[in-house]
Amino acid sequence: MDELKEKISYYLPVIIFFIITLIIWEIIVQVLNVESWILPAPTAIFEEILKTRSLLIEHSLRTLYESIFGLTVSAAAGILVGTIIFNFRILERTLYPLLVISQTVPIVVLIPLLVIWFGFGLLPKILIVILACFFPVAVNTVDGLNTADKDKVNLLKAMGASGWQIFSKVRVPSALPMIFSGLRISATYSVMAAVVAEWMGSDIGLGVFIVRSSNSYLTARVFAGIVLVSFFSIILFQSVTLLEKFLIPWSNSSKEESY
């Protein structure tokens, strides 16, 4: 119960700020009589969401599928590749730098290529999501495995631990917080990556929905799409945070002083 109160008071400022912004926005639009194709009022956007909900759900499901699927594959592949790179020093000096350099290529320029190679279907979208999400997980896995406290490693060695025991009992648990921070970054990228990929050529998904609405000057719909994109990003981000709380319970236990 106290925890809930604490949470509410933590988020209260941002919630209030958000609501005030919406109110000011609404007032400006009403008072200045702004045309709805230039800037729709928040209430109009909300109405639009309700009105087009079946259409929005249809497009959202596709975008969500691409983002969640892509994110899951990235998480698994990122952790796997990160672990392999960590365990083979030679890869840390060959593959790892390449991985970093690959990040300087903007993903947007790859989209036309992927369209040429794989067409307009689901696959190139998922590939774009993976391209965006894989890197933070892989790099944070390598870095995380490197953060293990040398003294803890030595303690296990002194006990006569094998390499595998040191890896599984110290390195992996030490790496988890960093792996999760990589996952959280990826989670925020994933929806955006899917939308951008759809933007460049697709027949379904929030990306196309937004582009089509924009081409028809249905600005309230564009905003409806944007609202959903950020909503889903937040949901994915929060899911990762929740999973982290569940898997790393030790990082949120509190101190209790006694002799």
**# binding residues, other proteins (CB under 8 A):** 27
The residue range among 1-9, 57-65, 152-160, 194-202 that interacts with other proteins, by the rule CB under 8 A, is 152-160
Instruction: Report whether 111 contacts 197 (CB < 8 A).
Output: yes
Of 32 and 159, the one with the shorter C-beta distance to other proteins is 159
The residue range among 5-13, 122-130, 226-234, 248-256 that interacts with other proteins, by the rule CB under 8 A, is 248-256
Residue 206 touches other proteins, criterion: CB under 8 A: no
Residue 255 touches other proteins, criterion: CB under 8 A: yes
Burial (0-12, 13-18, 19+ Cβ within 10 Å), 239: middle
What DSSP string describes 126-160? HHHHHHHHHHHHHHHHHHHHHTS-HHHHHHHHHHT
Of 132 and 166, the one with the shorter C-beta distance to other proteins is 166
Residue 161 touches other proteins, criterion: CB under 8 A: yes
| CA dist., res. 145 & res. 181, Å (int) | 13
Which of 49, 110, 122, 156 binds other proteins (CB under 8 A)? It is 156
Residue 170 touches other proteins, criterion: CB under 8 A: yes
Which of 32, 90, 160, 203 binds other proteins (CB under 8 A)? It is 160
Q: Closest approach of Cβ 121 to other proteins, in Å? A: 43
| CA dist., res. 20 & res. 224, Å (int) | 19
The separation between CA 71 and the C-alpha centre of its own chain, rounded to angstroms, equals 8
Which of 176, 192, 204, 227 binds other proteins (CB under 8 A)? It is 176
| CA dist., res. 220 & res. 155, Å (int) | 62
Residue 22 touches other proteins, criterion: CB under 8 A: no
Which of 36, 107, 169, 243 binds other proteins (CB under 8 A)? It is 169
Could you say which residues in the range 45-104 bind other proteins, by CB under 8 A? Answer: none
Return the residue matching tokens 């982290």. 244
Q: Closest approach of Cβ 82 to other proteins, in Å? A: 19
Per-residue x/- track, 99-138, other proteins (CB under 8 A): ----------------------------------------
Question: Tokens standing for 74?
Answer: 């990235």
Nearest to 232 by CA among 61, 10, 4: 61
Question: Tokens standing for 164?
Answer: 């595998």
Neighbours of 63 (CB within 10 A): 28
Q: Closest approach of Cβ 144 to other proteins, in Å? A: 13
- Taking each helix axis as running N to C, give the angle between helix 53-87 and helix 206-215, from 0 to 180 degrees, rounded to the nearest 10: 130
Distances (CA, A) of 198 to 112, 127, 157, 191, 204: 11, 12, 52, 11, 8
Of 13 and 249, the one with the shorter C-beta distance to other proteins is 249
Residue 3 touches other proteins, criterion: CB under 8 A: no
Neighbours of 182 (CB within 10 A): 29
User: Where along the sequence are the contacts to other proteins (CB under 8 A)?
Assistant: 149, 151-152, 154-161, 165, 169-170, 173, 176, 248-251, 253-259
